[in-house]
Amino acid sequence: MKKSFRSEVIPLSEVPRGIERGGSERPVVLVVDDEPLVAETLALILKGVGFTAIPLNSGYEALDLAYTVRPAFLLTDVHMPGLTGVELALMFRKGFPDCKVLLFSGKATAKDMEPAIAAGIEFPMLLKPVHPTQIIDYISKSLAEGSNESVPFPHRFATPASSKSA
């Protein structure tokens, strides 16, 4: 049985703007995954706990929207066609330095992280499958602390040796 889900197109003028420091608006979280069901589901869960979550299916969509929305947080899968999650995270670090980042993946390796390592940046990552409460807790703590670096990494990326033993 083929499953379907509903989504709606929202005019750019109605997309919520990012939060101001000390403002009362809900933080904007961009949820990026090339699997639409994953992005939609995570966005619905995050909306349910008070975030303005926007599901997107490519890194390029996230970059385009970020210039308008100014998100507080980027949640992105690592493995995506075109622009990978790591490349997207690096672009966000440069273009939107106040935006916090969390990568997630079911199969990331040290090789996937090479662009970030070469730039001297170590992004936090959750390994799939991940319970939604882990994502919610990490995003909440990161935004409350004001810095990704002050929140302990949920996981390190999987090295080829550690992924074989799993």
Spell out the residues 6+ positions from residue 18 whose beta carbon is closer than 8 angstroms to its own. 25, 27, 28, 69, 70, 71, 72
Q: SS3 of 125, please?
A: strand
Ramachandran angles phi, psi of 25, nearest 5°: -70, 155
pTM: 0.75
Spell out the residues 6+ positions from residue 115 whose beta carbon is closer than 8 angstroms to its own. 86, 87, 90
Give pLDDT, residue 120: 80
Give pLDDT, residue 6: 46
Give pLDDT, residue 135: 93
Q: What is the block-wise mean pLDDT of the chain (166 residues), using blocks of 10 residues? A: 48 42 73 96 95 97 95 95 93 94 84 80 85 91 73 46 36
Please report the domains of the chain, with CATH numbers, ordered by start residue: 25-165 (3.40.50.2300)
First to last CA, the chain: 32
